[in-house]
Amino acid sequence: MRLLLFTGKGGVGKTTLAAATGATLASHGRRTLVISTDPAHSLADAYGVPLGPEPKEVTRRLDGVQIDSRHLVDAAWEELRRQLRDALAGAGLDALDAEELTVLPGIDELLALTEVRRLAMTKHWHSVVVDCGPTAETLRLLALPEAIAAYLRRLYGWQPWQGSSSRTKRGVASSVAQLGRHLESLRDLLTDHEITSVRLVLTPERVVVAETRRTLTALALRGIKVDGLIANRLMPAPGMWRGGAASWLRARRKQQDEVLAELRGVGMPELTLVEHRAEEPVGLDALADISQQLYRGGDPLAPMGEAKDHGEAAMMHITANPRGGYRLRIAVPLDPGTDVDLARVDDDLAITIDGFRRLVALPRLLRSCAVVGAESDAEGIVVHLGEPEEIR
Ligand SMILES: Nc1ncnc2c1ncn2[C@@H]1O[C@H](COP(=O)(O)OP(=O)(O)OP(=O)(O)O)[C@@H](O)[C@H]1O
Ligand SMILES: [Mg+2]
């Protein structure tokens, strides 16, 4: 099974490209499901067929579904809400607070992701393509399993789903345990590089360059693989045309080319270009045409260009400092001038890059070493640590 997630800023073409990819996978003989998690559903419009909360056939081997987590009343959802409420109530928050917390923004995304996993795990489809919401929501969605797990860990002071239930009431412990296992299963699915990858869609405009870099950094920090960067709505090259319209096109294309050149920087996956069509790409024929530019007849599951591997294992590299202590290198693509903040939280290192925070468990060797300094360059962060103080 493969899981492809499409994300990018609002209106850049996520739905169109996810729909085109799904249709091409099906035409290559793979049973495919395209899922929209964006509350503003337009997947049905892209295919020109009605779709709902249950998978529905679009064409041979291709199904589509639009998840509406806000209106899900299924028992599984109630169960997840109950686990979350009990877990939070057990941590000393009173019932009302806990109830309010379960309707916080973010919970919808957690539910949507749970539904994506449930559908993917039915093994009914070989490929599952997800048309996610805009980048900010997707990042929050992808960060949520880990964020909530870390929050619970901190509230309870131990890994509740692995520890004994003696420190708290049995019912609460079992809810926390279930929720913990559930969050871990979501995180495992998202960070499994054999199964899941993200394709980032952008339009070649100056404002998107910085945002694209930030998104790549945030995804790398979470150990999520990006295997495609797609620049959509590229102006056609006007060639030998003359006249006012041609010079407008030429100027616009020149500007877009400059942005693309800027994007082909360090740590970026290769760019795939899709031209701006005169007509809206709606319906299977128009989508097939888009797909031809995207994949050039090749397998849509093949990586379109991989960012440097920032998997958990590859991300950290420890070297002994000849002057004593250690250096820990954390590889993430960073823009010069990026705002990086580091803090030690117990055995974790809290790394905040441009507002995105991630807890990274310190390797065992370094847990008793004090952080004595840090610096960053385009390749990532280097943390300087002192000598181990005691053997734990
Ligand atoms: N290459 C293209 N050429 C012409 N029109 C395009 C192209 N790609 C997308 N469009 C059109 O642009 C509009 C926005 O595309 P789409 O809905 O796929 O974007 P989106 O990123 O999913 O937007 P949203 O953030 O609102 O969900 C649609 O009307 C779509 O048909
Ligand atoms: Mg969309």
Task: Residue 225: give the domain boundaries.
Answer: 2-69+106-295
Q: Does one domain contain both 169 and 62?
A: yes
- Which pLDDT band holds residue 285 (cuts at 50, 70, 90)? very high
Ligand 1 binding pocket includes 293 (Cβ within 6 Å) = no
Q: Does one domain contain both 40 and 133?
A: yes
Q: Does one domain contain both 63 and 159?
A: yes
Atom of ligand 1 nearest to the CA of 279: 4
Ligand 1 binding pocket includes 31 (Cβ within 6 Å) = no
pLDDT at position 310, please?
46
- Which pLDDT band holds residue 133 (cuts at 50, 70, 90)? confident
Q: Does one domain contain both 247 and 318?
A: no
First-residue to last-residue Cα distance in the chain: 42
Among 209-223, 251-265, 306-320, 355-369, the range with the most confident prediction by mean pLDDT is: 251-265
Q: Does one domain contain both 198 and 259?
A: yes
Instruction: Provide the CATH number for the domain around residue 229.
Output: 3.40.50.300
Tokens 């679009």 -> residue: 58
Predicted confidence (pLDDT) per residue in 158-185, tens digit: 454 455 454 455 566 666 667 777 777 8
Kindly identify the ligand whose nearest atom is closest to the C-alpha of 135: 1
How far is it, in rounded angstroms, from Cα 291 to Cα 230?
12
Give 21 Cα–ligand 1 centroid separation in angstroms: 14
Q: What does pTM read for this prediction?
A: 0.79
Q: Does one domain contain both 207 and 335?
A: no
Ligand 1 binding pocket includes 134 (Cβ within 6 Å) = yes
- Compute the average pLDDT of residues 193-220: 86
Instruction: Provide the CATH number for the domain around residue 359.
Output: 2.60.40.790
Give the closest residue (by CA) to ligand 1 atom 5.
Answer: 280
- Compute the average pLDDT of residues 308-319: 60
Q: Does one domain contain both 135 and 268?
A: yes
How far is it, in rounded angstroms, from Cα 353 to Cα 351?
6
Residue 301 lies in a domain: no
- Which pLDDT band holds residue 279 (cuts at 50, 70, 90)? very high
Residue 306 lies in a domain: no
How far is it, in rounded angstroms, from Cα 216 to Cα 175?
34
pLDDT at position 107, please?
67
Structurally, the chain folds into a number of domains equal to: 2
Q: Mean pLDDT lowest for which of 13-17, 130-134, 189-193?
A: 130-134
Q: Is 266 exposed, middle or buried (0-12, 13-18, 19+ CB in 10 A)?
A: exposed
Residue 171 lies in a domain: yes
> What is the side-by-side strand order in the sheet with 356-361?
340-345, 348-353, 356-361
Residue 261 lies in a domain: yes
Q: Does one domain contain both 198 and 346?
A: no
Residue 229 lies in a domain: yes
How far is it, in rounded angstroms, from Cα 328 to Cα 273?
37
Strands (DSSP E) contained in 276-391 are 316-320, 326-331, 340-345, 348-353, 356-361, 371-377, 380-385
Backbone angles phi, psi at 326, to 5 degrees: -135, 160
